[in-house]
Structure 1
Amino acid sequence: MMSDTEATLQAVETAQALYTSASSTRANNELQAEIWWLESEALTRLGRAEDAHPVSLRALSALGEAPENSKLLADIYTSIARSSRVLGEHGEALAYFQEAYQIYRDIGETRSESIALQSMASIYSAAEQYDRAIDYFERALERYRDPNLDLAAFNNLANALTKLGRFEEAEAAFEDALSIAVEMDSATLRARILNNIANMRIRAGELDAADAAINSAFDLVGRDTDVEWARFFYGVYAETAFRRGDTDLAIDQIARVFEGLDIASTSQNYLEVHGVAADIYAGAGLWRNALAHHRAFKRLGDERARFVSSANSALMNAQFDFTEQSLQIERLRNDTIEQQYALESARASQRLMIVLGGLALLVLTAIILFLNFRATRARARHLAGQLYEDNATGLPTRAAMHTFATQNSDCDYTVIAVKLNKHTEHVELLGSQLAAQLVRQAAKRISQISSVRSIFLLEQSVIGLVLTNAADRIAAVTSALQKNSPIDVTVHELTYHLPIDLGIGCARDIDEATAASLQIVSRASLAMHGIEAPETDSLPINSAQLMSRLVEAVNSDALELHYQPKLNLRSGECDTVEALCRWKDRDYGFVSPAHFIPVAERLGQIRLVTEWTIRRACEDVDALARSGDAVAIAVNLSGSLLADNTFVRSILEMLAGYESWVSFEITETAVIEHKDRAFANLDRLSLAGIKLSIDDYGTGLSSLTYLKQLPVQELKLDRSLVDGIARSQRDRLLVRSTIDLAHNLGLTLVAEGIEDMESLSVLQLMGCDAAQGYGIAKPLPIADLKQYLRRHRQELLDNGANGLKNFGNSGL
């Protein structure tokens, strides 16, 4: 009807003028309402929602105070909802879409009903309530099938499924959308869907498939296309190249995405691409570019967080649930059946004296009604279960929380929201079923720790504790939760360590208290946002099975430590080695640390691996000392563990007597991500006499503010900054300035990734303190390390001051 929106608006204005001149007496309200409705629709489609909104409200008022249900009324409600959504009034938009949906359903307008369902689904997707959005998209597809509507529904459904890590279902929905686009012979639609598929493939770790999807998209629209959204095709290429380690290609492709754009004013569509760009440029050492994209990412991320928080708060009082609706219908049916049953029983009694021969029929009728009544009651109980109990976790829902509030009215509510971090990763790695079990077990553990029994599921990964008139208990409950963070949860004999964030809301209204607590944990989650390291290996087992095998390997002492020497460039001695974990599985052979360490991080098993590493390092310190090879051992420490007070207490006990012989290497980024607890725990380690080192310095957005605050004694310069020092004057200036910076701060500097004598000589001339790399020695098992140390000592004795000239000869 509105293929040319500008023309439509002009026609509406003409109709309005004719209507006004023709209506010298009482206006026809419905005609006036329809004219205003058409005008509001045209304005909305022209991007003038602020003008459309009052016009649509005038259309509604033209129908009077209590208009009868009609398609026009529902269409006006829909128009109000659309403009409200654009203006950010999410709760109002949902409420009007609900009203429109009910009318469309009552009058049998199934196509419009499906459109309303899709519109509500989009609101929930924008609020990141993906489970609810999926339910609405699926119901929209059930109500009415039409290619134009189905394509949008399948595509948006697939995007929501992707967000939850349900990749197989997402793939099926994308294929349905793609089939419709093929039938419609639309190359543009096919290309845009292929872009979405490519992003899904990246999240699933299928990089080749992601590239293939974008290749197909370019085949459809051509590589010389000037459409704005084609920029994101290059974003896919950039991310897959970066994940494969091809930084040069990644830089080339990401530059195409932002060519000609002011990155300080990009839209929300560029949020994730800015994050990828920041990582790519940081990995290449292009700090100015990385910082610019990091700022853009943060700007858009903050906007997104405010939007999601606002949307969730607005939707909280406007929830529309099919289960609630069905339950109410069933309750009405119950009442009707009860009345029918009572009526028929009374009639049976009256007729018993009159028509004895009809007794059997009446009894049969009563029995049928009774059985129907009982079955209906059972259905109602089932629906009540769906409403008040989450299907996946079995935990009480928000609806149950409202019932609790009704039973405990006239009191002050305190809602403590407990956010289980890394839930999305758990869904991706373990699957939704096992991730739901984690949430359920976490809720039980949280209840035990806090001694609070009124626990509800507020969001997919947020558990709510509700206290009534108990302001004096808040401190005790939150303190108990913080002391026990991360929460230890055991599922299928595997223990996961789940870090948490807390949010507290207090109000007379339970919804207000809940909204406040959720807003706090939402901000905390944004502050903790970071892109996880990709998994680089491919194994024929899933991540949960991999972790089970890893736990078994740790418990059976089947892991090994290899040690890479650090060469002291002042003395020529090797006085420190770095411990690197190695694992050879009995069935799958060597499993790269680049694979199992990130998975252990994400599934809460990194503490187990780290504690084993520290114990073995202490044992090997003793073994090396006994053989006359007294060297210190450096162990890599995860940033998440630095935030764990119980872990720090544990390692301080383990290192009693080894404080001078075991040191820790940490990344600056990891410290900053967990800075509140990490700074305090680093101080505890430093005061105990344990040496601390900043690892991979130069790969992140390094901050002098944080660097001067950290109680560290050493910087390790990343290989990316020293690769070109023998050839590039600029690289030498950068490295020299970093060495001077370290020395001015009282730190020693270690250069990583040394591969040749020329680079080593340059570093020595610059005053670098130590070096490490395959050109010096690769990581060695302890037996080989002992041989290396003996040969190296002999070379120093033989060569004297020239002991470094053949530094690589000792390597194995």
Structure 2
Amino acid sequence: MLEVRSTALPDGGFVRTFTDITERRHAQAEVGRLASEDVLTGLPNRRLFQQELEKCAQVSCSSFGAEHQGFALLYLDLDHFKDVNDTLGHPVGDGLLQAVAQRLKQIVRNDSIAARLGGDEFAILIRSVISTDQPEAVAKRLVAALAHPYDIYGQTITIGVSIGIALSPHDATDPDLLLKAADMALYAAKAAGRSTYKFFHGSMAEQVRVRREVEIDLRQAIDKQELELHYQPLLNLATHSISGFEALMRWRHPVRGLVAPADFIPIAEDTGLIVPLGAWAIRTACLEAMNWPRTCKISVNVSSIQFKSGSLVATVRDILAETGLPAGRLELEITETTLLNDSETTFGILRELRELGVKVSLDDFGTGYSSLSYLRTIPLNGIKIDRSFVKDLGKGPGGDVIISSVIDIAKTMAMTTTAEGVETAEQLKLLTTLGCHEAQGFLISKPIPGQQVLDLINSWKMDLVLAA
């Protein structure tokens, strides 16, 4: 590519120069491309997306009355992407973002725009939307497609996506307000358990405000000493004595009062706060247990997020050294969801915990009954049978057979069994007959504050429970 210039001379005539500007034009084109394209994924970047969003808003406002058409904004956030970066490194994280971008390109039609806004956030504009059916169909395809495993540099990674959907002009006509609406819907999708989508509706503003207030307060709860542990006893069915306690977290908020775990644990998991909260719970429980009889163990629930953090084993090791609690008196409870997420890494952590001498039990067993088939491969010490099976004891052969099978299988693998949600003396007697090791539930005792534990142990009488 040549640039031609003519320069007049004083005595007449002119000088014509020819300059090769190929590289300059290529550089200018590259600058223009970089200004509108995300370097890592090749998708439009936030700047270009904002421009297209403003164009769509103008068209929607001018044509909605005549054509009854608007457009949809889908706001996407990858679930727990930070864990990938933290555990596998940024090169793997970048590779995952590129793979996600490729799947987005395959799903999004030519008349729509998919962009990377930054980090693990993406957005999609769908033009000419007549009803919610169109964006909903796209959202369903996105959730399904992005959930398929990725092979990134030899690492198999499974990740979900949460999606917030806002419609123009129904939800907003101003581009910034529409983005805010989609962001609130995204927040609701995360609160609903992630790997799903939510449409914006007016009440979300208040829900998001309350949730964010709870999140802010929760970040300060440990320092302000608002958290406490209550303890529910575990009954040894052979000796009829208290064999230990499960620690259950409570939050005594200065304004909201006693906040139920269901109202703050999901927020703690979504934000990663469960890692410091979980460490606090293990440390506090171990300190409390040092005041109990040496025969009493302490069980603490551990989230899958704590497993993904990569620091769980070191945290437990440090806490045991700090508190002086023998490792054999600490039991960590995990869910089947934890086992199913990145099982190879999880099994490695379980083995390390076992090597420390810490016991590990599978909580709420039965909510994913298929796991019976591979229990033999998991380094566990015990199984806690979910209350949904216990409540059916004595009401027909079904519940009895299932629990009996679980107990028998556990015995062949030298695992203990604990029945959760025991509420009647009949259930307790049947569990004893079936050979269950431990029982837990309101029949024995509801969760109690730490200062009442020794009184319960010293005043324990099995006869009173059986007479209930």
Quick one: which amino acid aligns to residue 708 of structure 1? R
Instruction: Percent identity, please.
Output: 28
Cα shift at 1:313? 5.5
Q: Which has the higher contact order (CA 8 A, sep 6+)?
A: 2
Q: Distance in 2 between matches of 1:308 and 1:504?
A: 14
**Is 1:577–1:634's contact at 8 Å kept on the other side of the alignment?**
yes
Cα shift at 1:714? 0.4
**Is 2:444–2:465's contact at 8 Å kept on the other side of the alignment?**
no
**Is 1:617–1:662's contact at 8 Å kept on the other side of the alignment?**
no
Question: What residue ranges of structure 1 are gaps of 5+ in the alignment?
Answer: 1-123, 166-305, 322-386, 394-418, 425-500, 506-516, 796-802
**Is 1:621–1:630's contact at 8 Å kept on the other side of the alignment?**
no
Q: How does 1:44-193 map to 2 (within 5 A)?
A: 137-142=56-61, 144-150=63-69, 153=70, 157=72, 160-161=73-74
Q: Distance in 2 between matches of 1:693 and 1:717?
A: 10
Q: Distance in 2 between matches of 1:540 and 1:307?
A: 27
Structure 1 residues 556 and 742 mapped into 2: Cα distance closer, same or farther (>3 Å)? same
Residue 344 (structure 2) aligns with: 676
* SS of residue matched to 1:703: helix
* SS of residue matched to 1:145: helix
Residue 421 (structure 2) aligns with: 753
Residue 689 (structure 1) aligns with: 357
Quick one: which amino acid aligns to residue 622 of structure 1? M
Bigger CA radius of gyration: 1
Structure 1 residues 769 and 534 mapped into 2: Cα distance closer, same or farther (>3 Å)? farther
Deviations 1:315-346, CA, capped at 9 Å, x for gaps: 79x8998xxxxxxxxxxxxxxxxxxxxxxxxx
Deviations 1:630-670, CA, capped at 9 Å, x for gaps: 51110000012112222321222212342112210000122
**Is 2:76–2:161's contact at 8 Å kept on the other side of the alignment?**
no
Residue 302 (structure 2) aligns with: 637
Structure 1 residues 137 and 595 mapped into 2: Cα distance closer, same or farther (>3 Å)? same
- Residue number among 302, 309, 312 corresponding to 1:647 in the alignment: 312
Quick one: which amino acid aligns to residue 393 of structure 2? I
Cα shift at 1:314? 8.7
Question: What residue ranges of structure 2 are gaps of 5+ in the alignment?
Answer: 1-42, 78-98, 123-148, 164-188, 194-205
Structure 1 residues 630 and 744 mapped into 2: Cα distance closer, same or farther (>3 Å)? closer
Quick one: which amino acid aligns to residue 651 of structure 1? V
**Is 1:563–1:782's contact at 8 Å kept on the other side of the alignment?**
yes
Q: Distance in 2 between matches of 1:690 and 1:314?
A: 47
Residue 555 (structure 1) aligns with: 223
Structure 1 residues 727 and 314 mapped into 2: Cα distance closer, same or farther (>3 Å)? closer
Q: Does 1:667 align with 2:301?
A: no
Q: Does 1:312 align with 2:105?
A: yes
Q: Distance in 2 between matches of 1:634 and 1:772?
A: 12
Structure 1 residues 764 and 596 mapped into 2: Cα distance closer, same or farther (>3 Å)? same
Q: How does 1:211-610 map to 2 (within 5 A)?
A: 309-312=102-105, 420=120, 524-526=158-160, 534=192, 542-610=210-278
Q: Distance in 1 between matches of 2:330 and 2:237?
A: 21
* SS of residue matched to 2:222: helix
Over the aligned positions, Cα root-mean-square deviation in angstroms equals 3.9
Deviations 1:770-809, CA, capped at 9 Å, x for gaps: 10001110001112221111111xx3xxxxxxx4563476
Cα shift at 1:704? 3.2
Q: Does 1:714 align with 2:382?
A: yes
The structure carrying a bigger strand percent of its residues is 2
Deviations 1:175-202, CA, capped at 9 Å, x for gaps: xxxxxxxxxxxxxxxxxxxxxxxxxxxx
Count of residue pairs the alignment pairs up: 335
Structure 1 residues 632 and 132 mapped into 2: Cα distance closer, same or farther (>3 Å)? farther
Cα shift at 1:132? 9.0
Quick one: which amino acid aligns to residue 765 of structure 1? T
Q: Does 1:614 align with 2:273?
A: no
Quick one: which amino acid aligns to residue 591 of structure 1? V
Q: Does 1:723 align with 2:391?
A: yes
**Is 2:230–2:250's contact at 8 Å kept on the other side of the alignment?**
yes
* SS of residue matched to 1:597: helix
* SS of residue matched to 1:525: coil
**Is 1:130–1:164's contact at 8 Å kept on the other side of the alignment?**
no
The structure carrying a bigger helix percent of its residues is 1
Residue 737 (structure 1) aligns with: 405
**Is 1:775–1:808's contact at 8 Å kept on the other side of the alignment?**
no
Residue 28 (structure 1) aligns with: none
> Structure 1 length as normaliser, TM-score?
0.37
Quick one: which amino acid aligns to residue 700 of structure 1? G
**Is 2:191–2:267's contact at 8 Å kept on the other side of the alignment?**
no
> Structure 2 length as normaliser, TM-score?
0.62
